[in-house]
Amino acid sequence: MIMPVHNALPYLDAAVESILSQTFSDFEFVILDDASTDGSTQRLHHWASRDARIRLLHEDRNLGPARSSERVARAASAPIVARMDADDISFPQRLADQLAVLDRYPAVGVVGGLFDIIDANGRIVRGPELWRVRQPASVPPFGNGPLTYRREVFDQVGGYREECEFWEDNDLILRMAAVTKIMVLPYSVYQVRQAGISNRLSSEQQRVERAVDLMYRARTRLDQGLTYDDLLRSSLKDDRKVSPQVFVSLGSIVLWAGGRPRLFKRLLSRGELGFDRRSLTALVWTAWGTVEPRSLRAFIRLLLLGRKLRTRLVMRIDGPVLWPMLRSHRPIPALSSQPGRTRKAFDAAYAVEPAEALSPTSRRTLK
């Protein structure tokens, strides 16, 4: 288990406790303190003194999201690595469920899961959304938080790339999908917190906008059947106009945190606007969010409900789902996604020995 940390208070304790309380408990928890200045360092030392599974690493200068992710990932030595973000929550059964999938399917190199979105107070503002597994191959259905992978796959694709800062998780998962099978647990294993300490909100605004714009440019390339590596090497002007989608993406963090995304004027000055659907959508979204965010949230929830109902009509899910779904239009039956699953029922469904790949003993014997 790995987790980079930079100024994660007041949510850090809940994140750490959610990992230490996993039903599967035989693992090492590698945490990188990425030059925190808000008291996170002291809290991490407190937790490390209480639980011997924690191994702390420290950086004197802030590496940023991509480099800190790479640093802590390289420090892990187990053959299976699970990721955690410092302001989020992992449900108690997360590791057990994901490891069981890897146990049963040796050809699967990555396991993710659906997730809730919670606000700063821990209130669920959006539940698990199954439609995510039907997204195109350019849009992973999960990010860093619910990610668990075989270390050999991570090494094969070269790990996190600094050029993809602020979307390094998407880039990593996309490259992993090119070399291995990815499965998604069709229920919430994780809670993603939308709050003011998000890297995308706490970092320099224009830098984040350029990075998210690059992500959308990369997605466009993939949808066209092309690669995007050349985009990472190209030198674009720092003051260039960016995709209107950038402002919806960044505004969504504020919106679901319960705030008012005031990005309409920013869109007008920085957005690459045209007479097209994405420009119109961004103009309406940012104006609406600036004036009346509560009704915008209600409208989006209504749209998501329609998407959820359509997904239920076309998909019958009894277990982990392959992503991208083009690889298989039929989900592999292995695990009930009904609420109220017990550990005993889960193990019986898989009929495998308990996973040991995260244990310190396995790390010493499996190199």
Q: Which of 291, 324, 354 is the last residue of a domain?
A: 291
Q: Is residue 231 part of a domain?
A: yes
3-state secondary structure of 350: helix
Residues 211 and 235 in one domain: yes
The per-residue pLDDT for range 81-96, each reduced to its tens digit, is 999 999 999 999 999 9
- Both 278 and 331 in one domain: the answer is no
CA dist list (Å): 148 to 95, 223, 246? 8, 25, 27
pLDDT for 326? 57
Domain count, the chain: 2
Place of tokens 């919670």: 118
Report cis status (omega within 30 of 0) of the bond before 331: no
Start-to-end C-alpha separation, the chain: 17
Q: What is the DSSP letter of 175?
A: H
Cβ atoms of 97 and 82 within 8 Å: the answer is no
Establish if 296 belongs to a structural domain: no
The alpha carbon dihedral of 334, 338, 344, 345 has a sign of: negative
Q: How many CB atoms sit inside 10 A of residue 178's CB?
A: 10
Contact 69, 144 (CB under 8 A): yes
Cα distance between residue 62 and residue 65, in whole Å: 9
Please check whether residues 9 and 137 belong to one and the same domain: yes
Looking at the structure, tell me whether residues 211 and 355 fall in a common domain.
Answer: no
User: Does residue 188 sit in the same domain as residue 262?
Assistant: no
Cβ contacts of residue 336 below 8 Å, gap of 6+? 318, 319, 345, 349
pLDDT tens digit sequence for 18-73? 999 999 999 999 999 999 999 999 999 999 999 999 999 999 999 999 999 999 99
Q: Are residues 211 and 76 in the same domain?
A: no
> What does each C-alpha distance from 327 to 81, 180, 277 come to in angstroms?
24, 11, 30
State whether residue 108 is helix, strand or coil.
strand
One domain, residues 79 and 27: yes
Q: What is the CATH number of the domain that holds 64?
A: 3.90.550.10
Model pTM score: 0.87
Tokens 């994901």, residue located? 98
- What is the tens place of the pLDDT at every residue in 259-300? 999 999 999 999 999 999 999 999 999 999 999 999 999 999
Let me know whether 193 and 210 are in one domain: no
Statement to judge: residues 45 and 162 lie in one domain: yes
What are the pLDDT digits (tens) for 198-232?
A: 767 767 899 999 999 999 999 999 999 999 999 99
Domain assignment of residue 96, given as a range: 2-197+316-365
Alpha helices in 51-136 (DSSP H): 65-75, 94-104
Shared domain check, 228 and 141: no
